[in-house]
Amino acid sequence: MESPAEIVQHTAGGMIGASWLMIAFPLLGAAILLILGRMTNRWGHLLGVAMSLASFVVAVLTFLELIGLPADQRRQAVRLYEFIPGMVDMGLLIDPLSISFALLITGVGSLIHIYSIGYMAHDPERRRFFSYLNLFVAAMLLLVLAHNYVGLFIGWEGVGLASYLLIGFWQFKPSAAVAAKKAFIVNRVGDFGLLVGMFIILATFHTLTFSDLGAQIAKSPPSGGAITAIGLLLLLGACGKSAQLPLQSWLLDAMEGPTPVSALIHAATMVTAGVYLVVRSGAFFFPPDSAQALAVSIVGAATLLAGAIIGCAKDDIKKGLAGSTMSQIGYMMLGAGLGPVGYAFAIGHLITHGFFKADMFLGAGSVMHAMNDEVDMRKYGGLRKFMPLTFVTFFVGYLAIIGFPLLSGYFTKDGIIETAVHHQPILGWLAVLGAGITGFYMSRMVFMTFFGEKRWEKDAHPHESPAVMTWPLILLSIGAVFLGGYLILSNRLMDFLAPAVGAPPLSERPEFDPFSTAGLATLALVAVGAGFAWVRYGRAEVPAVAPRGSFLTTFARRDLFGDALNESLFMRPGQWLTRFAVYFDNRGVDGLVNGLAAGIGGTSGRLRRIQTGFARTYALSILFGAALLAGALLLVGNI
């Protein structure tokens, strides 16, 4: 086992020293667009794109400077300023892990910015959309670049805010407003975990900064209850942000946002922040057979199946993709729970997924754009002839996600499955099963959308999208083809990430084996799934109205009853509690003492009407409250 390299304080300036510009550009863009408002209507979108591209350029230059350093020097902490004096500094950590994310965020982010020029062209509030996108990019970069948990948390909540604003971008639709609020509140449940996790980290290690934590942990490897608690609490945070069980319910509703948002935030970047958190906090999930690490893998395996099952039953193309996103992040979590041997595959899958899922979401957006914003796949059909570019790029993304040999997903997902089968066989074989289901639901989506007969509404006139939308699709699909092989073959990504996250010992170093049992089983199951989908949705006619289906179908359509569960467990009891508390406050704390006072003072009706009645009533009620307070103080304080 090779430990992560030590973090060094960066003093040399250069591009790494100026890496804060990565965050500053999009933040400035957001500020300008929000403050100037309608004045930027004409050029706001261009500014948004320019700021995102500028950030991408900074990221690339920083990356180039970083790989110019020797491997053991590739963890550079850049101190920016004193935030909470004596306790927390603002600063960035530029290392292989953070820069990988930064490249993904700014790269895919810029493509989605460009795409949005076309997609949002008819929206009168387009510049506001771009201001939120810029705000998102800035916050997401702070999340991954911050050199301590406090900075990470500020970014973490910042992306939550951007997500809230963008899900609710069309807030005049009640469904969008509710979905936005739900996403924020469910995420806050996870944030509670992250927050308390930080309490315990600070109490145990007296620091929240990654470099100091690394040093402390290197000195005396942590163990015991505190570490388990930290790990589980961070996992709770990760579950919220990454829509993992049991905090998954918000992601499907989040599809209320404009489609570029679904692609950028709810597929490619923000929802993977939980995986980042686990990998960045690897020391708390060590050793890989610890309870908290196992919990990560179990959550991942459970969610990858749950998301896949949900994906099977959705007729709404975006919700189908959302279920798929849940499922794919489940794979990443499964990998991240396996320790250094799984990190490279988890991050690798995160990166390739960022490409092929963004590709498919934007493709879905292109289809919706052509079909009057229709999302029901039962009303699509035969679109491949009318939107060839969208079809080809979507199909490439599809092949990548089901793990078609030699495409991106084949390498990264297979890596997770192989490693899991080796280290956690039960979870690993569940992941194989999940791959088969993926083969089914993704094929179903492709067949229903692009193949078969037209089932369009009468006024649909599908057409290919403009170049500003198709070029991002082409570039993303190129990534969906080649990136996986490049990252995984000869362990390129693993070696690159090693200084940041550690690496498995040489004996456990994975080698790509196309003919392993698990790999072949996966391919076979995917083929079965795809074939089954062909029988049901390719060859056979797709009914325009969804059939009622079995209990299992209902179960999947209703998101495995997640909302029903939340409603009966939290929302309704919460409402009762709130109502009781309000009643208690009016009648109990205030009213009881008032009533008591009135009872002592005479008939309450007469007293209420006259001013002096007020005085006496309240004098008595205050006395009662104060006596209660004094009694409590003296009673408990004297023991």
Subset of 300-339 contacting other proteins (CB under 8 A): none
> How far from 271 is each of 333, 407, 523, CA to CA, in Å?
12, 23, 27
Indicate if the alpha-carbon torsion angle 53, 58, 59, 65 is positive or negative.
positive
Closest CB to other proteins among 569 and 630?
Answer: 630
Among 36, 46, 177, 596, contact with other proteins (rule: CB under 8 A): 177
Among 40, 100, 209, 324, contact with other proteins (rule: CB under 8 A): 209
Restricting to residues 590-619, which ones interact with other proteins according to CB under 8 A? 590, 611, 614-615, 618-619
Closest CB to other proteins among 34 and 474?
Answer: 34
Closest CB to other proteins among 552 and 626?
Answer: 626
Which of helix, strand or coil describes residue 148? Answer: strand
HSE of 42 in the Cβ direction (CA atoms, 13 Å)?
1
CB of 82 to other proteins, least distance (A): 6
Q: By CB under 8 A, is residue 172 in contact with other proteins?
A: yes
Number of residues counted as binding other proteins (CB under 8 A): 80
Please tell me the distance from the alpha carbon of residue 468 to that of residue 464, in angstroms, as a whole number: 11
Among 57, 69, 589, 596, contact with other proteins (rule: CB under 8 A): 589
Read off the DSSP letter of residue 266: I
Estimate to the nearest angstrom the gap between the alpha carbon of 565 and the chain centroid: 22
* DSSP code string of 363-383: HHHHHHHHTTT--BGGG--SG
Stretch that binds other proteins, among 210-218, 382-390, 431-439, 520-528 (CB under 8 A): 210-218
Which of helix, strand or coil describes residue 588? Answer: helix
113 residue type, one letter: H
At which residue do the structure tokens 């914003």 appear?
Answer: 373
Instruction: Give the chain's end-to-end CA distance (angstroms, integer).
Output: 54
CB of 271 to other proteins, least distance (A): 19
Among 60, 103, 195, 392, contact with other proteins (rule: CB under 8 A): 195
Stretch that binds other proteins, among 273-281, 438-446, 532-540, 585-593 (CB under 8 A): 585-593
Restricting to residues 77-116, which ones interact with other proteins according to CB under 8 A? 79, 81-91
Residue partners of 82: CB distance under 8 A and separation at least 6: 89, 90
Among 174, 225, 547, 605, contact with other proteins (rule: CB under 8 A): 174
Stretch that binds other proteins, among 116-124, 174-182, 438-446, 464-472 (CB under 8 A): 174-182
Read off the DSSP letter of residue 541: P
Read off the DSSP letter of residue 172: T
**Type and span of the H or E element at 91:** strand 88-94
**Is there a contact between 420 and 335 (Cβ–Cβ < 8 Å)?**
yes
Closest CB to other proteins among 217 and 389?
Answer: 217
Q: By CB under 8 A, is residue 628 in contact with other proteins?
A: yes
At which residue do the structure tokens 């991942």 appear?
Answer: 300
Stretch that binds other proteins, among 48-56, 243-251, 340-348, 580-588 (CB under 8 A): 580-588
Q: By CB under 8 A, is residue 171 in contact with other proteins?
A: yes
> What's phi and psi for 75, nearest 5 deg?
-125, 95
Nearest alpha carbon to residue 362 among 119, 110, 164: 119
CB of 586 to other proteins, least distance (A): 9
Among 70, 225, 543, 637, contact with other proteins (rule: CB under 8 A): 637
Q: By CB under 8 A, is residue 215 in contact with other proteins?
A: yes
At which residue do the structure tokens 């030699």 appear?
Answer: 406
Q: By CB under 8 A, is residue 130 in contact with other proteins?
A: no
Binding mask 147-166 for other proteins (x = CB under 8 A): ---x--xx-xxx--x--x--
Restricting to residues 216-275, which ones interact with other proteins according to CB under 8 A? 216
